[in-house]
Amino acid sequence: MKKIIAAAVATAFVAPAFAADVTLSGDVEYTFTSQGSVTSGATGDADYKITATEELSNGLSIMAYVDLDDKTDANPRSSKMEISGAFGLVEIGNDAGEAIGEFDEIADVAEAGAGATLTDGHAQDNSIVFKPATGIEGLNVAISYAAGSATDNTTAMSYAVQYTVGGITAFYGAMDEEDAAFNATAMGISGTFGPVYVAYERIDNPEKNQLATPSAAAVDDELVSVGMTYNYGQGKVFFEQNKHEDADAITQDTTKSSYGASYAMGPVNTYVAITNAKTAGVEGDDATVVGVEYAF
């Protein structure tokens, strides 16, 4: 009986011919914030991701992951599957995003989130993104179709083009949301010059925004983000600013800025960031954030 059990256990750990490679990764982050007379502590990132990769006999590769995000998220589980080959890459899932956002967030350089990631506002619940192999060095293209939940019943087509030459990268993207008056365009440019990195990006006519109270935006609204870093080896000095200009309600105009520095000790990163938000021309108290994060 013992031999039968041992054989069964051994067989369970023998990898089949096409077994996927499975890895576990994640990160944790903790912050202390002082703003005015208030001092508070919080948990930033706290998630882990299970990723599987597999090479198929027909030359295709598959990658899939399930990401259990921060516990405060309304939907704490995101996932994506990728199928790649000589034709290019296909992404499917609720974490696949949309083509207009495929090459953005280039100015998102500040620790602890200086303001917010620019967004086109379409609430997609599932999407498919195709990135064809262009055969042209430095050129990347993305095309996507995304659908919202049954409650909002919206779909969107999107595309984006990115080109890199001589250390400078530029992108342009657009999104056409079904039956919506607000169809967004996005563009950005970034460059690395030795230890210095600079980036600028902009979204015009977004449906919603993350820099002010979420609400329907007016035609000609604009979201702009700039970021700069200096890498000194063990960390970086950073500055980031995110700005929302409301076309018809200046009470929604918001500017949020952050500057500071980070210092890394192997996989552990520490930082100090000072942030300030200005709404309708009125500045709030500076917030000083001290944080530590570990990625594994």
What gap in Å lies between CA 280 and CA 286, rounded to an integer?
Answer: 16
pLDDT of residue 250: 56
pLDDT of residue 116: 52
- Measured CA distances, 212 to 103, 122, 140, 288 (Å): 23, 16, 32, 21
CB 231 within 8 A of CB 195: yes
Q: Cβ of 2: how many Cβ atoms within 10 Å? A: 6
- Please give the structure tokens belonging to residue 55: 């090479």
CB 238 within 8 A of CB 226: no
Tell me the CB-side half-sphere exposure of residue 248, using CA atoms within 13 A.
7
Q: In sequence order, what are the residues at sequence separation of 6 or more whose Cβ sits closer than 8 angstroms to the Cβ of residue 117?
A: 104, 105, 108, 210
Structural domains of the chain, with CATH = 21-295 (2.40.160.10)
Q: Is the dihedral of CA 206, 212, 215, 220 positive or negative?
A: negative
Q: Cβ of 212: how many Cβ atoms within 10 Å? A: 22
**Would you give per-residue pLDDT tens digits along the chain (296 residues)?**
444 444 444 444 455 555 789 999 999 999 999 988 899 998 887 888 999 999 998 889 999 999 987 554 555 678 999 999 999 999 999 888 889 988 888 999 998 765 555 555 566 788 999 999 999 999 999 999 998 777 766 788 999 999 999 999 999 999 888 765 557 889 999 999 999 999 999 988 755 443 333 344 445 577 889 999 999 999 999 999 988 776 665 556 778 899 999 999 999 999 999 998 877 667 777 889 999 999 99
- 230 by Cβ neighbours in 10 Å (0-12 / 13-18 / 19+) ranks as middle
